[in-house]
Amino acid sequence: MRFSLPDFPWDSLAEDKALAAAHPGGIVDLSVGTPVDPVPAVVRAALAGPAADVPGYPTTHGPASLREAIAGSLARRYGVTVDPVAVLPTIGSKELVAWLPTLLGLGPEHTVVLPELAYPTYEVGARLAGAQYVRSDSTTALGPRRVALVWLNSPSNPTGRVLPVEHLRKVVDWARERGAVVASDECYLSLSDSADAVSVLHPDVCGGSHEGLLAVHSMSKTSNLAGYRAGFITGDPRLVAELLEVRKHAGMIVPRPVQAAMEAAAADDAHVAEQVQRYARRRARLRAALEAAGYRIDHSEAGLYLWATADEPCRVTVRRLAEAGILVAPGDFYGPKGDRHVRVGLTAPDERIEAAAERLKS
């Protein structure tokens, strides 16, 4: 195989997972951001509705009603106006992140800029395309590189950091001066009830023009649709049209019943508000318990994770928590600068969150 890919990070947690699972009270798995709460009834009804009995192929672009529902949700939830034509459903967001550099035609002569602490799939995407990549949170540190793509992620995975409008605007201006595309991973944007997170497509960031900008969204977190593989990308109409053409040729199509479920999820804000409050309660409980146990929490303003440190190598922290039956992700999964932190997910039932908080007392 010609791809040079890193080992899958979570494989390295096998021993710690077994140790945590051996706890008399069972494991509290906070290592992966996978939803555990029910799929909203309105979404399940749409999945099993008329679209479940459509025998023909779905379209890559999806029906106009889906794209209109998504555009409406962006306007209501984030103050972002997009043309529904520039909305493209994707098979979750991870496949889009992994293949975006390739879909954009990047190769060895191009550089992809990743956040210094970042979701591992950004790096994987650059490697799949054969492109170079560099980790940097500062445009001034990039020098004369031929940058083709810049990834942003706010609220961040893993740190929960929210980037201010001024920072986002500076990156957009810098990229436009160089003809680079900015891809903003906004999978956690809804989970920012008490923080000032904003989309890269918001007029305060982009000046009202989406030129050179792409926003990547997932319904996994706020609608509990990880099992449905439901995501979308929107932004610059020209770029979205180019992605659509490639994806049509490649057969990258969201199944028709899932398209119907996505439409229902986009049209209903009540279940999103309910899920945001669930995570807010879990965040408050876990944060207080970790801080009382002597951990420092950095950033973690929003999103789905707490970025915690005991000021020691992250694998030492992972092992100690595993001995208490709590499994977390080591910070080095997300880049060298994460080697003294762990990522603590909020994705566990309330009973398990409470169990973790009690175990942290001992």
Q: At 154, list the tokens.
A: 């706010």
pLDDT at position 274, please? 96
Where do we find the tokens 């789905």?
Answer: 304
Other C-beta atoms within 10 Å of 207: how many? 13
Q: What is the pLDDT of residue 140?
A: 79
* Chain mean pLDDT for the chain: 95
CA 37 to CA 30: how far, in whole Å?
Answer: 14
CA distances from 37 to 48, 190, 227 (A): 19, 16, 12
Q: What pLDDT is attached to residue 279?
A: 96
Give phi and psi for 64, each to the nearest 5.
-60, -35
Which pair of structure tokens corresponds to residue 287?
A: 């944060």
User: How far is 287 from 352, CA to CA, in rounded Å?
Assistant: 14
How much is the pTM?
A: 0.94
Sorted by where each begins, the domain ranges of the chain are 9-39+271-359, 41-267
Q: Please write the tens of the pLDDT for every residue from 122-144.
A: 999 999 999 999 999 987 777 77
Task: Write the pLDDT tens digit of every residue in 147-193.
Answer: 999 999 999 999 999 999 999 999 999 999 999 999 999 999 999 87
Instruction: Give dist(CA 262, CA 39) in Å, integer.
Output: 12
Beta-carbon contacts of residue 352 (< 8 Å; ≥ 6 apart):
28, 29
Alpha carbons 339 and 330: distance in angstroms, whole number: 7
Calpha distance 69→267 (Å, rounded)? 6
Distances from the Cα of 110 to the Cα of 78, 80, 102, 106, 126, angstroms = 32, 30, 11, 6, 9
Which pLDDT band holds residue 2 (cuts at 50, 70, 90)?
Answer: low
Whether residue 115 contacts residue 152, with contact meaning beta carbons closer than 8 Å, is answered with yes
pLDDT of residue 160: 95
Provide the 8-state DSSP code for 62.
-
129's enclosing H/E stretch is helix 120-129
Which top CATH class is 9-39+271-359? alpha beta
The first and second tokens of residue 216, run together, are 């990547």
Ranges 9-13, 115-119, 152-156: which has the least confidence: 9-13
pLDDT, tens digit, for every residue of 215-270? 999 999 999 999 999 999 999 999 999 999 999 999 999 999 999 999 999 999 99
Top-level class of domain 41-267:
alpha beta
Q: Residue 192, SS3? A: coil
